[in-house]
Structure 1
């Protein structure tokens, strides 16, 4: 008889249940945009997988297993379309001032170079104030987000998900975690700005319903799920290129190589396919990062990598639903939210 306890969400049911990770967020509700920073305690192995047809990214080439730098100092998810890529500048400056980063030449007077990959979503057409001239707010928001890093953070209309829309419903920032029976920790954080819908038809049943744990996104169950070819329910009616993106990060405390982290990122993308319909379209910019905090040795070889990837996909599907479930309207707006269905 197997007496091991079943897998369960961590104490917070956030990606920060993975030991060695913090998350910080900053948002401006007047601008209807924001930034989310994933900050490891120490440099961490990372990888990314890009599936959307209109991505916006920074430093992703540095994550390739064949390249020199094998670890990152932070990952930045941001609103703001191309302007949002500057959020990483604020994080780089903050880290560099604290002596964190990659040191090719280790001698006094030579600053380290923080490695901060990032991805952006398109939220600049949501009615927020964009009269910023030559001074977009994202470098400032990036610095504010990393300064706010901790173990607890807000879901829904917060961080990089502040200005997001999930199909025709309000999108947002979501997170989830799982602690396996043998102690492996896996978590996900996601900012959902998808072309596709996260619910079946026009009802409250999340596509991710079969993966829900402990009623974390309303306990609606899967009885209402039904999919018909070429019928997308509450997807966006008029998608345009580069206007839709779901950006995410999954993490584990198990030691991974860059190549193993890449496989986890690839597998984790299935979490988006389980929770958003359709996904990875030409006008989506879907990107998933994977990182390892390296607190637990890898035991079991490739089979454990497969387990971590599967757990990451499940966590990501749950996080997508939680993002929309927790989303609230922007102040003074009548944007439709899941709770309005």
Structure 2
């Protein structure tokens, strides 16, 4: 599948055995914020994304398997960006702002992604390699429906929406405790014939993480609200979402190519639609 342009950003995968890494490299100067709503997150640099913190730029977002171990994939991306001279300027040289979010997969036991794998995903992004959906990249070892004692498909998905001059892209890795829902609100897998919800399975083997990227000119505080809209997309496409057993998190990025006359609330509205579509694409797309 051809790689989506994701506006003016680049995105790439590294796919391993039962795990992987997906990297988003937005244009220099992209403004970002984010929010965690799940009860069991594995994240890196999220405190910096708070709207009250000094730095407002984000140089990369790294999505990975391997739970907290997989956060080390961001080290490889950070090293590559430093070599390229990208990052927040300091007297000692640029410091790349690399945000990480990880999902739980079997590589926690067998060998999670590391710095070299993150670097490979970043190289794939820079090279414009094909950017697939489904069980690839950080979605390789994912699943859904654990609350029913099921193992339904998970994966990586993306979707874009445009309205009123604003463009929004949503990219998501779906590894949810709950079910992904169709447009009628019914589970895509199992349906009414499937096992009743029981809370079965080890709860913390879950998490849905995503990136919302827009070409609108937004402030860091605006991006925080945009991240909340990404979570609204989770809640409309996944049931239940944001449980104590999920580490659900969203980063929102604004490249600033479209002027301030674009309504923030319009951007937020189409972001919800894009995220819903991305979640469904993640679990219905097969290699």
TM-score, normalization: structure 1? 0.75
Aligned to 2:281: 322
Q: 1:254 aligned to 216, 234, 241, which one?
A: 216
Cα deviation for residue 129 of structure 1 reads 9.2
Q: 1:160 aligned to 138, 162, 170, which one?
A: 138
1: CA distance, partners of 2:285 / 2:222: 32
1: CA distance, partners of 2:77 / 2:86: 11
Superposed, which structure 2 residues align to 1:1-341 within 5 Å?
A: 14=4, 16-18=5-7, 20-28=8-16, 30=17, 32-105=18-91, 110-124=92-106, 130-132=109-111, 136-149=112-125, 150=128, 152-167=130-145, 168-180=151-163, 182-199=164-181, 206=182, 209=183, 222=184, 225=186, 233=194, 238-300=200-262, 304-327=263-286
2: CA distance, partners of 1:129 / 1:292: 33
Cα deviation for residue 138 of structure 1 reads 1.8
Q: Higher strand fraction: Structure 1 or Structure 2? A: 2
Q: Give the number of the structure whose alpha-carbon radius of gyration is greater.
A: 1
**CA distances 1:53-110 after superposition (whole Å, capped 9, x unpaired):** 10111001111122111101011111101111101100000000111101121xxxx3
Indicate conservation of the 8 Å contact 1:196/1:276, yes or no.
yes
TM-score, normalization: structure 2? 0.89
Query: Measured at CA, do residues 129 and 116 of structure 1 come closer, stay the same or move farther in structure 2, by a change above 3 Å?
Result: closer
Query: Measured at CA, do residues 287 and 129 of structure 1 come closer, stay the same or move farther in structure 2, by a change above 3 Å?
Result: closer
Indicate conservation of the 8 Å contact 1:119/1:287, yes or no.
yes
1: CA distance, partners of 2:245 / 2:86: 36
Cα deviation for residue 121 of structure 1 reads 0.5
Aligned to 1:6: none
**CA distances 1:281-321 after superposition (whole Å, capped 9, x unpaired):** 11011001100011111205xxx111111111110010000
Indicate conservation of the 8 Å contact 1:232/1:277, yes or no.
no
Query: Measured at CA, do residues 121 and 138 of structure 1 come closer, stay the same or move farther in structure 2, by a change above 3 Å?
Result: same
Q: Which runs of 5+ in 2 are unaligned?
A: 146-150
1: CA distance, partners of 2:81 / 2:198: 38
Indicate conservation of the 8 Å contact 2:155/2:282, yes or no.
yes
Indicate conservation of the 8 Å contact 1:197/1:233, yes or no.
no
Query: Measured at CA, do residues 117 and 148 of structure 1 come closer, stay the same or move farther in structure 2, by a change above 3 Å?
Result: same
Cα deviation for residue 41 of structure 1 reads 2.3
Q: CA RMSD in A?
A: 2.3
Indicate conservation of the 8 Å contact 1:195/1:239, yes or no.
no
Query: Measured at CA, do residues 194 and 316 of structure 1 come closer, stay the same or move farther in structure 2, by a change above 3 Å?
Result: same
SS of alignment partner, residue 148 of structure 1:
helix
2: CA distance, partners of 1:13 / 1:309: 24
Cα deviation for residue 13 of structure 1 reads 9.4
Q: Higher helix fraction: Structure 1 or Structure 2? A: 2
Aligned residue pair count: 275
1: CA distance, partners of 2:120 / 2:265: 36
Q: Which of structure 1's runs of 4+ aligned residues deviate more than 6 A?
A: none
Indicate conservation of the 8 Å contact 1:196/1:232, yes or no.
no
